[in-house]
Homo-oligomer: A and B are copies of this chain.
Amino acid sequence: MDKKGILIVVSGFSGSGKGTLMKELLSRYPDTYALSISATTRAPREGEADGREYFFVTKDEFEKMIAKDELIEYARYVENYYGTPRSYVEQKLNEGKDVILEIEIQGALKVKKSFPDTLLLFVTPPSAGELKSRLVGRGTETMDVIESRMNRACEEAEGMDRYDYLVINDDLNACVEEMHSIIQGEHRRSFRNQAFMKSMKEDLERLKEQQS
């Protein structure tokens, strides 16, 4: 089978637990997956290291990356840029690793446009009621906070259809294995195995000629 890695975008409801899920997936299968590291112009926070949480760059450097098409996607939140450097992703894919980007829908759709083979996964709790209780939390949040989270969830839900798979996060352990199994199954998609199909056809033709 073809050995190249798959580019995977993971999005999901805020409160769907996708951060924990990613961490667990990477710690269980470190040789299979690589997590893409974003570049940002915001200042590092306490405990963050350059090249681990983010690549920290200046605004000028970031804008040069945009100009040189060195970012797969980028966005500006408030005063800061965030983006996905192309080189790291391509290097890991060529090493045969499945590369995971944890970004939101706007970025997901941009990535899919430049890399049509990207796999889009959407993490969701098993029901809206369950999502609500995660959003409401332990009753320590103000009504305003809950309301704004709920509005955001409604927006996020609108994009669900654009994703290839829904990953139901009910039980963390089961969910990690399910996600792993979905991604590994995708490696068997015929469109991801053009080289295998080509060589199979060529080998068969050659064998047929030898026969006659």
Q: Give residues in A with beta carbon < 8 Å to B.
A: 1, 122, 124, 127-129, 131-132, 143, 146-147, 150-151, 153-154, 157-158, 160-161, 163-168, 178, 181-182, 184-186, 188-191, 193, 196-197, 199-208, 211-212
Contacts and interface: CB of A to CB of B under 8 A. Distances in A.
A104 B181 CA distance: 28
10 contacts: A1-B166, A127-B203, A128-B199, A128-B207, A129-B207, A131-B200, A131-B204, A147-B208, A150-B207, A161-B190
Contact of A204 (B153, B185, B207): B153
A189 B207 contact: no
B193 A154 contact: no
A163 B182 CA distance: 18
B188 A165 contact: yes
Contact of A166 (B143, B151, B196, B206): B196
